[in-house]
């Protein structure tokens, strides 16, 4: 049951971190909560599949936000907001990629 809750929390925290409305302190705190939940899942192959799915979804999200940012003209408020959101998604993606890599090494015994 606790693994189900941990996965739900991961999804929730990723959703929160996808917002551009977070202050740096709130983003830091939510990222710490996300990392704590990810560590609860760092045990077996089933969770590696979950982590790899989140990484793949994150890559798609980063790509989409990058395209959205590129659709705005330089120097506009919209471009700056999109740039801030892109940075947030890239940082989140780094957290997810790092966790997935560490879990893969732990479960499989080697990185891919």
Q: Express as a percent the part of the chain with pLDDT over 90.
A: 64
pLDDT digits (tens, 9 = 90+) for 19-48: 878 888 999 999 999 999 988 887 767 788
DSSP conformation letters of 41-65: TTTSHHHHHHHHHHHHHHHHHHHHH
- The residue ranges of every structural domain in the chain are 2-108
- Reported as half-sphere exposure (CB side, CA atoms, 13 A), residue 4 has a value of 1
Angle formed by the axes of helices 45-70 and 2-17, to 10°?
Answer: 10
User: What CA–CA distance (Å, rounded) separates 65 from 48?
Assistant: 25
> Is a pLDDT exceeding 60 seen at residue 112?
no
DSSP H helical ranges for the chain: 2-17, 24-40, 45-70, 77-108
Of residues 57 and 103, which shows the higher confidence score?
A: 57
C-alpha dist (Å) from residue 103 to 28, 56, 84, 85: 22, 15, 29, 27
């Amino acid at each position: 049951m606790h693994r189900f809750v941990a996965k739900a929390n991961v999804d929730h925290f990723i959703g929160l971190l996808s917002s551009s409305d977070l202050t740096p302190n709130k983003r830091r705190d939510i990222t710490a909560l996300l990392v704590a939940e990810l560590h609860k899942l760092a045990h077996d192959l089933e969770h590696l599949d979950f982590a790899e799915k989140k990484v793949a979804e994150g890559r798609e999200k980063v790509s989409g936000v990058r395209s959205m940012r590129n659709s705005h003209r330089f120097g506009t408020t919209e471009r700056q907001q999109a740039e801030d959101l892109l940075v947030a998604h890239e940082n989140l993606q780094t957290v997810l990629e790092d966790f997935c890599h560490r879990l893969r090494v732990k479960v499989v015994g080697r990185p891919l």
